[in-house]
Amino acid sequence: MLRGAGADAVGVARTGRDPCDVTDAAQVAALRARTGPVDLLINNAGVIHEPAPLTDIPLAEWRRLFETNVFGTVALLQAYVPAMNERASGVVVNLSSGWGRFGAGRQSPYCATKFAVEALSQSLAQEVAEGVCVVAVNPGVVATEMLATCFEADVSGYTPPAACAASFERLLGQLDPSWNGRSLDVTDF
């Protein structure tokens, strides 16, 4: 999508051609060194847990979710936002969730991490240079393996990933500094 619009794009995952585990500070630093400054940062790393009551979820599982969903987001923000501030230009999109705006039973750790992403986005939006835009984006209910884990059911009747991607592309095309600090829903685009 971005390459088709003439942008230089780098996609990373924990495995593959350009791996980066956002919970590993050395890998984040190496990624930043390879890519240099960016005009658009999309923080999309996220993990989920098996649904269970809050009191039954081990603290280690809470830590695993916070390490990726919150601290991984912070690590990338710290790596890339300073250059955006220096240039007074850039867009940060932090992927949140509807469950980052309201709680859901049996999903306490995930909800807590996505509430944190919403708060991080709003706080950072107040700190960035004029000309930089920081938003939190809820992709909606998308038929993914993660959703199947959350719902413990077949999710094929929910939004196909390609439809979400098309809406996300429309959203990205509209973002400019006037959107700074907003929480957005992909389904609105």
Give the domain CATH number at 112.
3.40.50.720
User: How many domains does the chain contain in total?
Assistant: 1
Does the residue 20 lie in any domain? no
Q: What is the pLDDT of residue 136?
A: 98
Query: What pLDDT does residue 109 have?
Result: 97
Which pLDDT belongs to residue 174? 94
> CA-to-CA distance for 176 and 143, rounded, in angstroms?
29
| 158 tagged catalytic | no
The pLDDT assigned to 8 comes to 57
Residue 99 lies in a domain: yes
In a domain? residue 18: no
Non-local CB neighbours of 76 within 8 Å, separated by 6+ positions: 22, 28, 41, 43, 45
Domain membership of residue 29 (yes or no) is no
Number of H helices, E strands in the chain: 6, 4
Does residue 98 lie within any of the structural domains? yes
Spatial separation of the C-alpha atoms in residues 48 and 54, rounded to whole Å: 14
Helix (H, G, I), strand (E, B) or coil at 13: strand
Q: Which residues of the chain have pLDDT under 50?
A: none
What number of CA atoms fall less than 13 Å from residue 42's CA on the CB side? 16
Distance CA 128, CA 13 (A): 26
Q: Which residue segment(s) compose the domain that 49 sits in?
A: 37-188
Whole-number pLDDT of residue 5: 65
For residue 99, give both structure tokens: 């469950």
Residue among 99, 110, 115, 168 flagged as catalytic: 110
Per DSSP bridges, beta strands 90-95 and 40-43 are parallel
pLDDT, residue 63, reads: 98
Is 1 inside any structural domain? no
Residue 153: helix, strand or coil by DSSP? coil
